[in-house]
Amino acid sequence: MSRLLKRVVFLTALSLAALACRRVAVAAPDYPVPSSYPISWELKFTHGMPHRIAVDVNDSPVPKAYWYMTYTVTNEGDKEQKFYPQMDLLTADGNVHKSDEKVPKKVFDSIKDEVHNKFLEPYTSISGPIRLGPAEARDGVAVWPETQPRMEHFSVFVTGLSGEAVIMKNIDGKLTKTEAADDMYSKDNEDELLKKGLTILRKTLQLNFYIRGDEVYPGEDEVNKTGEEWIMR
């Protein structure tokens, strides 16, 4: 290869690399992402796989179906933390469903019997202080009424495990990070910040699942976990 041709090839490759970098820079999201290392308190979270259960409830002539996911939270930090779980289910149709809304106590009792865990707590009692150490770990369960016979791809968003948060304000229709320190956020002053028109994005654990072919025998097909990641939501 001649020296001139080599130079042309080199300059072409350099131009393509610069263009690729420019595209990456343009495409880079300006949306907050969690810190790559802990910058606030964080609770350890482990969970079971989602399961389906059908329960005879008072207002239904036939058993009503629910999905649930058990979990354990442990405080491995150096001081007591308050745990206010928020578990949202994102179904394949794009709808988001909050857990534990209008779920009869009988459903929780049936789940507790099914998983054989006498320490299992409902949403109403697990919210609150989490003391230090594995011996003080708490077992809870998130429950959602079934909204569609085929779950297919779905995600669970778990908020309340970390104190990391970003405070955003709306400027000309676009959410922009405020100059206020992120550590000004706490669950106790959340309502005050929201009244000021601010938006709070909190470090949230996203769990992704997939069920193949569950439209024929709902709840009997294997639930597969396809990944998890921390996001700001």
Q: Per-residue DSSP letters for the chain?
A: --HHHHHHHHHHHHHHHHHHHHHHHHHS--S----SS--S-B-EEEE---EEEEE--TT-SSPEEEEEEEEEEEB-SSS-EEE--EEEEE-TTS-EEETTSS--HHHHHHHHHHHT-TTEE-HHHH-EEE-BSGGG-EEEEEEEE---S---EEEEEEESSB--EEEEEEETTEEEE-SS-GGG--GGGHHHHHHTT-EEEEEEEEEEEEESSTTTSTTTSPEEEEEEEEEE-
The pairing of strands 138-145 and 120-121 is parallel
pLDDT for residue 18: 46
Average pLDDT over residues 175-184: 61
In which band, very low, low, confident or very high, does the pLDDT at 225 lie, cut at 50, 70 and 90?
A: very high
pLDDT for residue 23: 42
> For residue 107, how many other CB atoms are within 10 A of its CB?
21
- CA 215 to CA 96: how far, in whole Å? 20
Question: How confident is the model over 56-96, as pLDDT tens digits?
Answer: 988 778 899 999 999 999 999 999 999 999 999 999 999 99
Q: How far is CA 139 from CA 7, 113, 143, in A?
A: 66, 14, 14
- CA 74 to CA 67: how far, in whole Å? 24
Residue 188 clears pLDDT 80, i.e. is over it: no
Which of 18-27, 52-61, 164-173, 223-232 is predicted with the least confidence, judged by mean pLDDT? 18-27
Residue 20 clears pLDDT 80, i.e. is over it: no
Domain boundaries, the chain: 1-30, 44-232
pTM summary value: 0.79
